[in-house]
C-alpha cells in the first residue's frame, strides 16, 4: 500500500540506547502513519529491542564515510545538480556559510549525504512528503540540505547532547528554517526558545514516555535490608556522573553500610570507571554487566532496592534531558536518587518521587542514598507517587497521539 509517507532521518538504526525512537516509530505506525527510515549509520549492537521487529517501515542506509564512500555520494549529487541547479546552488551556498562558521568537513559530508538522499533515495520513494530528523546535530543537517535540494519541508526532534554541544548559530539557523521543532523536556524547550530569539518556528515539548505494560507497577518490595542492592543503568560517559556514585559508595562503605552495586551499560569512559572501582577498593561490592537487552534490565529493576544516577554537565556542555531509565524506574516503583541537572526534576521530584542532590557531590549523594534506603515512609510515598506521575505524564501511547496531532497539523499531506 502506498500513500503520503513521513521520511525519518536517523543517526543510526536500530540502536539499543535509542529505544524511544523505535517505540515512537512503532506507535506512529499503529496510528496510521507510513514511515520510511533513512539511517546515517548501520546498527552497532548485535541485538535490538522487540519493538524494532514489529516496525513495518523500510530502511535505507546512507553512505557513511566521506572519503571511502565519495564515489557513491558524489554521483547522485552531481546528477541532482544537473536536474535542479537552482536548488543545488542554494544548498551549496548554505553549506559554504556553515563551513565558514565551523571549518568542519562534516558539513561537506552532510551536503553529499543529502544529495544521495534527494537525488537517489527520494526518487525511489516519491511518496515521502516531509523529512523529520531525530537529533539536532548531523541528522538535522542532512534534513536541512535535503530539504533545500528536494523542495520538501523538514523538521527535527532535539534531545540532549545534540542541543548543548551544537554550534549555537548553526542550531538557531536550523530552527529558523524548520517547519517545526519537537523536544523531549520543558527545560530543553525553554532553552531552544531563548536561543531562537524572535524566530517564530513552533517548538513543542513531547516527553518520550514508555510502554506502561512493559513496566508494570505493583512490584512487591520488602523493606530493604543489608546488604542493600543498588543499581545504575547508564552509558559510561562523563555526563552520567558515575564517578560521583562510586565515591558516594566508598563513603557509605567507610561508614559501615553493607551493599552490592550493579552497573549496567558501556561507553567511552568504561576503562576509567572500572579502574576507579578498583582504586576505591569497591571491586568486591560492585559488578559491571555491560550492555544488556531490555528484558534483563527489567529483571534487575525488580531485584534492586534503589536506583542511582549521578548526572552532571560534561566539560563540552553535554547533559541529559530526562533519561528514559529514570522513567522506567518510577514505573517499576523503584525509588531513585538523582541530581538537579537539566530536566531531571521533571521526573524525579525531590521528596515526592525520589531525592535530588547537587551534581558532583558524593557526600550529598551518600546521605540521600542512605535516607531513601532507611526512611520507609519516604520510600513508600515516592514509589506510589513516581508510578502515578509516569501514568499521567509519560504514557507513550498518549504521547504518540500528541505527536501525531503535531505532525498532522504542520504537514497537511499527512492530515
Specify whether the backbone of 76 is left (phi greater than 0), alpha (psi in -120 to 50) or beta: alpha
Q: In 3-state terms, what secondary structure has residue 307?
A: strand
> Which residues of the chain are under the pLDDT cut of 70?
1, 16-17, 45-50, 217-219
Sheet hosting strand 181-183, strand order edge to edge? 58-61, 34-39, 5-10, 128-134, 154-158, 181-183, 203-205
- Within its chain, how far is the Cα of 257 from the centroid? 35
- Which position has the grid cell 537552482? 86
Cβ-in-10-Å burial (0-12, 13-18, 19+) of 200 comes to exposed
pLDDT of residue 51: 74
- Within its chain, how far is the Cα of 384 from the centroid? 26
Provide the terminal-to-terminal Cα distance of the chain, rounded to the nearest Å.
17
Q: Which residues, at least 6 apart from 69, have a Cβ–Cβ distance to it below 8 Å?
A: 63
Would strands 259-264 and 128-134 be described as parallel, antiparallel, or unpaired? unpaired
The structure's pTM equals: 0.90
- Within its chain, how far is the Cα of 7 from the centroid? 19
The reply to whether CATH 1.10.10.10 applies to domain 228-393 is no
CA–CA distance, 369 with 248 (Å, rounded to integer): 9
Q: Which three cell numbers stand for residue 334?
A: 523503584
| Secondary structure percentages of the chain, helix, strand, coil, to 5 | 50, 15, 35
Domain boundaries along the sequence of the chain:
5-209+395-414, 228-393
Q: Which three cell numbers stand for residue 15?
A: 540502536
Rounded to the nearest 10 degrees, what angle do helices 168-177 and 85-102 cross at?
150
CB atoms inside a 10 Å sphere around CB 287: 12
- Within its chain, how far is the Cα of 310 from the centroid? 17
With the C-alpha atoms ordered 216, 222, 227, 228, is the resulting torsion angle positive or negative? positive
- Closest among 106, 104, 232, 240 to 160, alpha carbons compared: 240
Q: Which three cell numbers stand for residue 30?
A: 499503529
228-393: same fold as 5-209+395-414?
yes
CA–CA distance, 288 with 276 (Å, rounded to integer): 12
CA–CA distance, 404 with 76 (Å, rounded to integer): 33
pLDDT of residue 43: 83
| Largest Cα–Cα separation, the chain | 74
Q: Which three cell numbers stand for residue 285?
A: 561490592
CA 19 → CA 12, 55, 241, 316, distances in Å? Answer: 12, 12, 22, 25
pLDDT of residue 169: 94
CA–CA distance, 263 with 359 (Å, rounded to integer): 19
- Which position has the grid cell 538535522? 140
CA trace torsion 347, 229, 234, 18 (10° rounding): -70
Cβ proximity of 338 and 354 under 8 Å: yes
The fourth-level CATH superfamily of domain 5-209+395-414 is Glycogen Phosphorylase B; (3.40.50.2000)
CA trace torsion 124, 128, 130, 135 (10° rounding): -60
pLDDT of residue 218: 61
Amino acid at each position: 500500500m502506498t500513500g503520503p509517507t513521513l521520511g525519518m532521518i536517523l543517526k543510526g538504526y536500530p540502536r539499543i540506547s535509542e529505544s524511544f525512537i523505535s517505540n515512537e516509530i512503532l506507535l506512529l505506525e499503529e496510528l496510521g502513519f507510513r514511515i520510511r527510515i533513512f539511517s546515517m549509520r548501520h546498527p552497532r549492537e548485535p541485538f535490538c529491542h522487540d519493538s524494532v521487529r514489529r516496525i513495518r517501515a523500510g530502511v535505507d542506509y546512507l553512505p557513511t564515510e566521506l572519503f571511502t564512500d565519495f564515489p557513491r555520494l558524489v554521483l547522485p549529487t552531481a546528477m541532482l545538480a544537473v536536474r535542479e541547479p537552482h536548488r543545488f546552488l542554494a544548498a551549496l551556498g548554505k553549506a559554504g556559510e556553515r563551513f565558514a562558521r565551523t571549518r568542519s568537513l562534516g558539513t561537506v559530508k552532510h551536503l553529499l549525504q543529502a544529495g544521495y538522499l534527494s537525488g537517489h533515495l527520494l526518487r525511489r520513494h516519491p511518496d515521502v512528503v516531509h523529512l523529520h530528523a531525530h537529533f539536532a546535530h548531523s541528522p538535522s543537517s542532512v534534513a536541512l540540505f535535503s530539504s533545500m535540494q528536494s523542495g520538501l519541508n523538514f523538521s527535527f526532534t532535539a534531545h540532549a547532547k545534540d542541543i548543548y554541544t551544537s554550534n549555537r548559530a548553526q542550531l538557531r539557523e536550523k530552527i529558523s528554517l524548520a517547519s517545526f521543532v519537537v523536544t523531549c523536556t520543558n527545560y530543553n524547550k525553554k532553552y531552544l526558545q531563548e536561543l531562537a530569539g524572535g524566530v517564530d518556528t513552533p517548538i513543542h515539548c513531547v516527553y518520550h514516555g514508555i510502554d506502561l505494560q512493559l513496566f508494570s507497577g505493583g512490584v512487591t518490595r520488602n523493606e530493604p535490608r543489608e546488604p542493600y542492592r543498588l543499581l545504575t543503568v547508564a552509558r559510561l560517559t562523563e555526563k552520567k556522573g558515575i564517578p560521583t556514585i562510586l565515591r558516594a559508595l566508598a563513603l557509605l562503605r567507610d561508614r559501615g553500610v553493607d551493599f552490592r552495586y550493579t552497573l549496567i551499560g558501556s561507553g567511552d569512559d568504561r576503562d576509567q570507571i572500572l579502574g576507579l572501582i578498583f582504586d576505591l577498593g569497591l571491586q568486591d561490592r560492585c559488578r559491571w554487566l555491560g550492555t544488556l537487552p531490555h528484558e534483563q534490565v527489567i529483571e534487575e529493576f525488580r531485584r534492586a532496592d534503589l536506583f542511582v544516577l549521578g548526572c552532571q554537565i560534561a566539560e563540552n556542555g553535554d547533559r541529559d534531558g530526562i533519561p528514559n531509565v529514570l522513567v522506567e524506574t518510577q514505573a517499576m516503583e523503584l525509588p531513585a536518587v538523582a541530581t538537579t541537572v537539566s530536566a531531571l526534576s521533571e521526573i524525579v521530584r525531590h521528596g515526592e518521587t525520589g531525592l535530588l542532590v547537587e551534581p558532583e557531590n558524593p557526600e550529598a549523594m551518600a546521605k540521600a542514598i542512605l535516607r531513601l534506603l532507611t526512611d520507609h515512609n519516604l520510600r513508600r510515598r515516592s514509589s506510589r507517587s513516581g508510578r502515578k506521575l509516569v501514568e499521567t505524564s509519560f504514557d507513550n501511547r498518549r504521547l504518540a497521539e500528541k505527536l501525531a496531532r503535531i505532525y498532522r497539523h504542520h504537514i497537511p499531506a499527512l492530515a
